[in-house]
Amino acid sequence: MKNFYKTQHSFVFENNFCDWDTGELLSPIQLQNYVVLQVAELYYNNAFCIHSHLQHCDLEITFPTTNGLFCQTDGKTEKLRKHQAYLSFKGENHQLFSRVGCRFQTFAVNFTSPQSKELFRLLKQRFSENRTQTCPQLAHFFTAIIGEFLSTQQDFFSQSLESLITTVLVNLVRMETPAPQTLLSTKTATDDILQYIDAHFLDICSLEELSALFGYTYGHICKIFKNAYSVTPVEYLLRKKMEYAALLLTQGKTLTEIAEVTGYSTPYNLSRAFKKHFGVSPNEFKTRKE
C-alpha cells in the first residue's frame, strides 16, 4: 500500500519515515535490493529551513529543480543549482534551507542485497568528499520515481521503482569528467558548444560546466565562442531563454510557470531580465502579440 499526502508545499510519501529518537523505520517499502524510506517533492514560494537532523537512512539524494537550494552536512554548506544531485549518508548531520523560493525532489533508501551494498560502497567512496554532481539527464528519472507513487497501477509498482532507483544510482556512479583534449579545432568546438547550449539551455545550471564537458578553461571557451558568434556563451544562453520565455507567453503560460521552466528564482527576476532583453515588460510583449 502506498501512503502519501499532498499539500500546497509538498508531495511526500511517508514523510515521517522514522522515529527521530530511536531511528526505527515506520512504513518502509521493501524491494528486492532496497528499502525505500521516503520519496518527496517539495516546493516553497519563500525562504524555508529544514533544520539539522541526523540521517538514519543509508543514503538520501536531494535533486533541486530550481536554483538556490543550500544543503549542509556536518557543518559544511554547499549551494546547489538546478539539476545538481546532492548525496548525504547515514550518521551525518544534514540540513536544507533556501533564502528564496525553491523546488526540489528527494528520496531516501537503505541497501539490503550484496549487489546493492556494493553500489552503495561505490557511491559513498565517490561522494563523501564531493557531494554534488551536475546531471540534468537524471531529471526524468526522478520525475518517474515521483510518478510511481502517484500511479494507480499497482501491478508493476515494485519492479518499476526498483529499476528506476537502480538507474539513478548507477548513472551517478558512472558520471565521469571527460579527459581534456590536446588540440582544439575552433570551428568544431564552437559548433559543439553552440549545439549543446541549443539542446540543454533549460537544464544548464552554470556555463562553467562547459569546461568539464569540453575539457578547456571557461575563459578559453568564452574567447573562441565570442570570436565565432560575436556574443559570449552567457549572452547566447540568455537569448535562448528569453526567446523561449516569449514563446511560452504567447501560449498563455503564467510568469510563475515560465520562471520555473527557465530557471529564474522568482517571476520578478524573470520579468526584469525579459524587459532588459526585449525593451518591454512581459505583459506589454504579450499585449502587442494579441
Q: Which stretches does DSSP call E strand in the chain?
A: 4-6, 10-13, 29-30, 34-44, 48-54, 59-64, 69-73, 76-80, 84-89, 93-98, 102-111, 132-134
pLDDT, one tens digit per residue, over 208-241 is 778 767 767 788 888 889 998 999 999 999 999 9
pLDDT at 151: 63
| Distance in angstroms (rounded) separating the CA atoms of residues 125 and 134 | 18
Residue 179 belongs to some domain of the structure = no
Q: What angle do CA 61, 62, 64 make, to 5 degrees?
A: 150
Domain endpoint, select from 174, 194, 209? 174
On whether both 131 and 254 belong to a single domain, the answer is no
Which percentage of the chain shows pLDDT scores above 70? 82
With respect to residue 180, please indicate whether it lies within any of the assigned structural domains.
Answer: no
124 domain residue, yes or no? yes
Q: Is residue 267 part of a domain?
A: yes
User: What is the span of the domain harbouring residue 118?
Assistant: 4-174
Residue 286 CB-density burial (10 A; 0-12 exposed, 13-18 middle, 19+ buried) = middle
Claim to verify: residue 60 and residue 74 sit in the same structural domain: yes
Whether 88 and 225 share a structural domain: no
What cell does 79 get? 549551494
Q: Note whether 207 and 263 are same-domain residues.
A: no
**What's residue 11's pLDDT?**
46
Query: In this predicted model, what pLDDT tens digit does every residue of 27-36 receive, in sequence order?
Result: 678 889 998 8
Q: Which residues contact 153 (CB under 8 A, 6 or more apart)?
A: none
Pair 168, 27 in one domain: yes
- In the chain, the number of structural domains is 3
The separation between the first and the last C-alpha atoms of the chain, rounded to the nearest angstrom, is 49
Taking residue 207's Cβ as centre, other Cβ atoms within 10 Å add up to 18
Q: Are residues 72 and 100 in the same domain?
A: yes
Q: Does residue 269 lie in a domain region?
A: yes
Same domain, 8 and 152: yes
Q: Is 192 helix (H, G, I), strand (E, B) or coil?
A: helix
Whether 67 and 157 share a structural domain: yes
Residue spans of the chain under pLDDT 70: 1-27, 137, 148-156, 175-185, 212, 215, 290
Q: Do 111 and 51 fall into the same domain?
A: yes
- Judgement on whether residues 271 and 199 belong to the same structural domain of the protein: no
181 lies in some domain: no
User: Grid coordinates standing for 264?
Assistant: 529564474
* 41 shares its domain with 167: yes
Say whether both 214 and 259 belong to one domain: no
Domain with 244 in it: what CATH number? 1.10.10.60
Let me know if residue 49 belongs to a domain: yes
Q: Give me the CATH number covering residue 35.
A: 2.60.120.10
Give domain status of residue 111, yes or no.
yes
pTM over 0.85: no
